[in-house]
């Protein structure tokens, strides 16, 4: 990376917004570069244009393939992972612009928001996929008493909650003139958000393993339906793709937790080198997208049960009526049992 020159405009020092040490008022050099000890510094390194463009291309290619796969396999819900890829692509498009506008707070904010939040979409796609796997492979379409449709909805709602927590935290960390306590609050909120995301991932992984073991047991008991044997690759590989993608997301979460736990100043060695973000965030997310490209669920989940049936308004109304009838019958049964008990206990009370 080429170094940039800066000119000292004042010899006085002031308190830095993101550091506990003093800072120096300096004029931005080439491409808006400022050294780590400058007061208005946003980046503590010179970002690489070549790396940003490379990841733009890679994320663009993977996302394009996801778009084609969604159309070919007719999977509308794949729009979720497409958004994940597009957000990663958008993030590195802003990063490319940032390499020539290193002092722009707006560009830094846009890059940071898209980059930090894009993995949430990929995570949501995995949740939605497992719900469809339950619906497709399991005869009663339930896992631990939870229906396949509800399974996906529950985890996606949890994912959305983690998304908003992270979004609020990320918003607080961006801003050239943000106060130190505000930035630290944003970091803590964001860390809490990704901590929640990882907690949900662990719970989801446990349930994924249970579904995996259930299907293995079904196979050993001689239950080998057409659904389990049909497709371009064995059903187990779809689980391996999910495990791999979850591992990549976990690596990224651990990296962010380690990064922010050391503070958000120039004393944090992780913030001084761009390579860490590419190695432990951008690359794992790219590999997760590629794994799903290679072992796309649309290739294996084909036929009856591969999609959730659309419930019409009339069917919903009928289901409500049925539930009400069942509830009324249960209530009447309880009342009848209570009446019998009172009738049988009547002589006993009279005797007493």
Residue 190 is assigned to a structural domain of this protein: yes
For residue 333, what are the CA distances in angstroms to 142, 287, 340? Answer: 28, 57, 11
Helix residue ranges per DSSP H, 138-272: 148-173, 180-220, 226-229, 235-261
What is the Cα–Cα distance from 47 to 176, expressed in whole angstroms?
A: 17
Number of domains into which the chain is organized: 2
The reply to whether 234 and 335 lie within a common domain is no
The reply to whether 206 and 338 lie within a common domain is no
pLDDT at position 320, please? 62
Residue 309 is assigned to a structural domain of this protein: no
Looking up residue 145, the CATH number of its domain turns out to be 1.20.1070.10
pLDDT at position 9, please? 32
Residue 217 is assigned to a structural domain of this protein: yes
Q: Are 32 and 101 in contact (CB under 8 A)?
A: yes
Q: Are 149 and 309 in contact (CB under 8 A)?
A: no
Nearest to 34 by CA among 63, 61, 5, 74: 5
Tokens of 19: 């550091």
* Residue given tokens 């930090």 in the structure block: 116
Structural domain of 53: 46-300
- The residues near 140 (Cβ < 8 Å, ≥ 6 apart) are none
Q: Is 125 exposed, middle or buried (0-12, 13-18, 19+ CB in 10 A)?
A: buried
pLDDT at position 207, please? 93
The reply to whether 246 and 329 lie within a common domain is no
* Residue given tokens 């509830």 in the structure block: 327
The reply to whether 349 and 228 lie within a common domain is no
What is the Cα–Cα distance from 50 to 262, expressed in whole angstroms?
A: 28
The reply to whether 143 and 222 lie within a common domain is yes
Residue 341 is assigned to a structural domain of this protein: yes
Residue 317 is assigned to a structural domain of this protein: no
What is the Cα–Cα distance from 297 to 91, expressed in whole angstroms?
A: 26
DSSP character string of 145-157 = TEEHHHHHHHHHH
What is the Cα–Cα distance from 114 to 97, expressed in whole angstroms?
A: 14
pLDDT at position 12, please? 31
Q: Are 148 and 164 in contact (CB under 8 A)?
A: no
Verdict on whether the full-model pTM lies above 0.95: no
How far is C-alpha 46 from the chain's CA centre? 29
Residue 225 is assigned to a structural domain of this protein: yes
Residue 80 is assigned to a structural domain of this protein: yes
pLDDT at position 227, please? 75
How far is C-alpha 155 from the chain's CA centre? 10
What is the Cα–Cα distance from 68 to 46, expressed in whole angstroms?
A: 36
**pLDDT tens, the chain, 352 aa long:** 444 433 333 333 333 334 445 778 878 778 888 888 777 788 889 999 999 999 999 999 999 999 999 999 999 999 999 999 999 999 999 999 999 999 898 999 899 999 989 999 999 999 999 999 998 888 888 888 888 888 888 988 998 898 899 888 877 776 555 677 777 888 888 889 999 999 999 999 999 999 999 999 888 887 666 777 777 888 999 999 999 999 999 999 999 999 888 877 778 889 899 999 999 999 999 999 999 999 999 998 887 777 877 655 555 556 566 666 667 676 777 766 776 666 656 665 555 5
pLDDT at position 61, please? 98
Cα angle, residue 150 at apex, residues 212 and 133 outer, rounded to 5°: 30
The reply to whether 197 and 340 lie within a common domain is no
pLDDT at position 4, please? 40
The reply to whether 113 and 243 lie within a common domain is yes
Nearest to 127 by CA among 277, 245, 37: 245
Residue 215 is assigned to a structural domain of this protein: yes
């Amino acid at each position: 990376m080429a170094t940039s020159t800066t000119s000292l405009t004042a010899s006085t020092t002031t308190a830095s917004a993101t550091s506990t040490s003093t800072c120096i008022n300096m004029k931005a050099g080439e491409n808006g570069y400022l050294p780590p000890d400058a007061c208005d510094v946003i980046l503590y390194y010179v970002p690489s244009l070549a790396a940003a463009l490379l990841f733009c291309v890679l994320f663009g290619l993977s996302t394009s393939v996801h778009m084609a796969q969604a159309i070919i396999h007719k999977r509308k819900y794949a729009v979720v992972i497409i958004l994940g890829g597009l957000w990663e692509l958008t993030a590195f498009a802003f990063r490319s612009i940032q390499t020539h506008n290193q002092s722009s707070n707006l560009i830094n904010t846009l890059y940071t928001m898209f980059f930090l939040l894009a993995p949430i979409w990929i995570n949501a796609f995995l949740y939605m996929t497992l719900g469809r796997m339950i619906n497709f492979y399991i005869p009663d379409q339930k896992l631990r008493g939870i229906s396949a449709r509800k399974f996906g909805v529950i985890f996606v709602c949890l994912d959305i909650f983690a998304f908003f927590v992270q979004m609020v935290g990320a918003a607080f960390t961006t801003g050239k003139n943000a106060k130190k306590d505000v930035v630290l609050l944003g970091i803590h909120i964001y860390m809490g958000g990704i901590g929640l995301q990882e907690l949900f991932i662990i719970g989801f992984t446990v349930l994924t393993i249970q579904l995996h073991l259930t299907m293995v047991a079904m196979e050993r008991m001689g239950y080998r339906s057409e659904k389990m044997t049909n497709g371009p690759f064995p059903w187990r590989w779809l689980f391996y793709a999910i495990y791999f993608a979850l591992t990549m997301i976990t690596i990224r979460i651990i990296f962010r937790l380690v990064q922010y736990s050391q503070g958000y100043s120039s004393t944090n060695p992780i913030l001084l080198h761009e390579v860490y973000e590419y190695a432990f965030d951008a690359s794992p997310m790219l590999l997760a997208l590629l794994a799903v490209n290679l072992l796309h669920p649309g290739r294996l989940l084909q036929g009856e049960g591969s999609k959730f049936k659309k419930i019409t308004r009339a069917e919903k109304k009928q289901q409500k009526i049925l539930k009400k009838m069942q509830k009324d019958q249960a209530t009447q049964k309880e009342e009848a049992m209570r009446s019998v008990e009172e009738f049988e206990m009547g002589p006993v009370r009279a005797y007493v």
